[in-house]
Every structure is written in structure tokens, then in C-alpha cells.
Structure 1
Amino acid sequence: MDLCEECGFGYDAVAPRDVPGRLGEFAARFTEALAAVVDIRARPAPDVWSPLEYTCHVRDVLRVQAERLDLALHADAPEFAPMGRDELVVTAAYNRQDPEAVLAALGSAAAVLGTAFAALRPDQLERIGLYPWPEPVPRTLLWLGRHTVHEGEHHLMDIRRQLAQDRA
């Protein structure tokens, strides 16, 4: 995936030097988005996550991507384990978590991952790992960074979509 049909995010539009800063912005942007939503635990439909669930997911994506980045720096062409995104929303009880703690953890995870990407050399950005979703595909660490930025942007869009429904 290099272009998201749903949100219009183009992976190539994010320069390698911009990945750390884009990741670092997520703490403030998710805090602002959640503050605008009437009920952060409300699901607009049974199969659509709540704003809090999307925020928990992004926090966990940031954590998992940091682990994957580290693995790819220390092993040649590692196979990344699936994160179990749909299972985590239930097993980790995303909708019962404390929003302030979630936002703090998201901020910490974004800072850690942003710092890790800022430290990468161009040759390291080209290291490969076997990314598991939606099917196993070899991906560079640059793609991993861009994909993580996409995850945050896409789920901010999901939260804003719910905000628009709340206002309607």
C-alpha cells in the first residue's frame, strides 16, 4: 500500500526527514481530537471503534512499530508478528481504559518511535522486514515509518468523522 483510497494518504508525500516530526505531533493531535468528542467511548456502529478505541490502537501501533524497527535493525529480513489489532480492542479492554493514561502513553510511544526514526541513517531506512498485514510483504523501515504516520492520520480522520456525526 502506497496510497490509502479511503483517506487519500500518500506514502511518498512523507519525506524520510519528516517521519519523526509527524509521529511526534500525534500526542497533541489526539488529545485535541478526543477533547472535541462528546462521548469518547461511544461506537457509532457495532463494527466501528469508538474514538478511545482508535486512540488505544494508535498507541499500540506506535509501540509495536518501535519493536519491529528495533528487530529489523538487529536481524536481517525479520518476519514481523501480527499485532492482533482486532483482538486487542477486546482483550485489552480499550473502551474501559483511562483516556488520560492512554494519551500519555501514546505521547511517550510517539516520542520513542520518532527519536528512533530520527537516528536512522539512509541505509538503515532501506532495511527490510516481512510486514504481516494485510498479507506478508517485504517492507523497508522507511515504509514502516510512513505507514505508522498513515495509521495515526487515518484514525484521526475516523475520530473526526464521529465528531461530525455528533454535531449533525
Structure 2
Amino acid sequence: MDRCEECEFGYDAVAAGEVPGRLGGLAARYAEALAGVADIRRRPAPAVWSALEYTCHVRDVLRVQRERLDLALRVDGPQFVPMGREELVVTGAYNRQDPGAVLEALGAAAEVLGAAFAALGPEQLARVGLYPWPQPVPRTLLWLGRHTVHEGEHHLMDVRRMTSR
């Protein structure tokens, strides 16, 4: 995946040096978007997550991507384990979590991951791991950073869609 047709995110449009800043700004953008949603726990349709569930998912994506980054820096050619995104919504009781705590944790995870990417040089960004989604494909750490930015921005779009409902 190098481009998302739904949100028009282009992976190549994000330079390596932009990844930390794009991640670091996510918490404020989510807080602003959530403020515009009347009921952040309401699912607009049975198969569509609530605004809070999307926000919890992004928080957890940031945490999982940090673990994957660390693994790829320690091990040559690691195989990343799927995060179980659909299961986590239920087992993590996303819709019962405190929104303020979720935003705080999202911000902390974004800062930690952003700082980790800021510390990487070209050789490290070129390291490869087997990424599990949508099917197992070898991906560089630069792609991992860009994909994480995409996840944050794509789901921010999902949350913003709920402001008009």
C-alpha cells in the first residue's frame, strides 16, 4: 500500500523528516475533532466504530508501531504480529474508556514514537520487517512511519465525519 484511495494519503509525499512532527501533532488534532462530536461513544452504524473507538485504536496503533520499530532495530527481518484491531475494540472496552485519559495516552505514545523516528538515520529507516496487513509484505521502517502517519490521519477523517451527524 502506497496510497489510500479513500483519504488520498500518499505515502511518498511524507518525507522521513516529517514523520516525527506529523505524529506529534495527532493528540491536539484528535482533541479538537472529538470536541465537535455530539456523542463520542455512539456508533453511526453497526459496522462503524465510534469516535472514541477510533481514537483508542490510533493510541494502540502508536504503541504497537513503537514495539515493531524496536523489534526491527534489534532483529534482522522480523515478522510483525497482527495487533488484533477488531478484538481490541471489545477486549479493551474502548467505548467505556475515559476520553481524557485516551487523549493523554495517545499524545504520549505519539511523542515517544515520533522521537524514536527522529533518532533514526537512513540505514535504520531502510531496515525491513514483514508487515502483516493487509497481507504479509516486507516493509521498511520508513514505510512503517509513513503508515503510522496514515493511520492517524485516516482515522482522524473518520472522527471528523461524525461531526456532521
Deviations along 1:93-117, one digit per CA (max 9) or x if unpaired, are: 0000000000000000000000000
Determine the structure 1 residue equivalent to 2:73.
73
Output aligned runs, 1:1-168, within 5 Å. Answer: 1-164=1-164, 166=165
2:29 partner SS = helix
C-alpha distance in structure 1 between counterparts of 2:115 and 2:79, whole Å: 23
C-alpha distance in structure 2 between counterparts of 1:26 and 1:162, whole Å: 18
Deviations along 1:111-166, one digit per CA (max 9) or x if unpaired, are: 000000000011100000000011100000000000000000000100111112x2
- TM-score normalised according to structure 1 size: 0.97
What is the percent sequence identity of the aligned residues?
78
- TM-score normalised according to structure 2 size: 0.99
C-alpha distance in structure 1 between counterparts of 2:157 and 2:31, whole Å: 14
What are structure 1's unaligned runs of at least 5 residues? none
What are structure 2's unaligned runs of at least 5 residues? none
C-alpha distance in structure 2 between counterparts of 1:125 and 1:145, whole Å: 9
2:130 partner SS = strand
- Structure 1 consecutive aligned stretches of length 4 or more whose deviation exceeds 2 Å: none
Please, what is the CA RMSD of the aligned residues? 0.4
